[in-house]
Amino acid sequence: MLLRTADPFRDFDRLTQPQLGTTRRPAAMPMDAWREGDRFVIEFDLPGISKDTIDLDVERNVLTVRAERVARNGDWEMLASERPRGTFSRQLVLGDNLDLDRIEASYDGGVLRLVVPVAERAKPRRIEIGSGQEPVQGRTENQSIDA
């Protein structure tokens, strides 16, 4: 699961950033996140950004997404500049119940999509109950048990 910190300044920053974003400090990348069964899906809007400039890192339970929109090179003159350029970065604190070793990433149509599966140890499982003083042993947590 995604964890959200209670930081009132972050909420204020998120409200003002689209208006105050500049080419030196671009606006944040918009994101949607939801759960589909045993996996979490996270999508980031990164229109006009080359796949080669996107960098994903996971350290402990912090996912960092970095992307860069660079200015064009060559013989041209800028007539209007409303789209932010520079480096975009966003960090998410992911819960301990996710399998960070099996994150899948794809990029299509300007949308970066991450699929993060729930860890096996965090999935619900049934436990067999023994009778009397003898506990049931030898079951792994992935085996289905019908009592």
- Where in the chain are the domains? 2-122
Predicted confidence pLDDT, tens digits, the chain (147 residues): 555 555 555 555 555 554 444 445 555 789 999 999 889 999 999 998 999 999 999 998 899 999 998 777 778 888 887 877 888 899 999 988 899 899 999 999 999 999 999 887 767 778 888 887 766 665 554 554 454
According to the model, what pLDDT value does residue 23 have? 47
According to the model, what pLDDT value does residue 19 have? 46
According to the model, what pLDDT value does residue 57 have? 94
According to the model, what pLDDT value does residue 21 have? 46
According to the model, what pLDDT value does residue 120 have? 78
Q: What are phi and psi of 16, to 5 degrees?
A: -90, -20
pTM of the model: 0.66
For domain 2-122, give the fold: Immunoglobulin-like (2.60.40)
User: Which residue from 71, 45, 60, 122 is spatially nearest to 94, judged by alpha carbons?
Assistant: 60
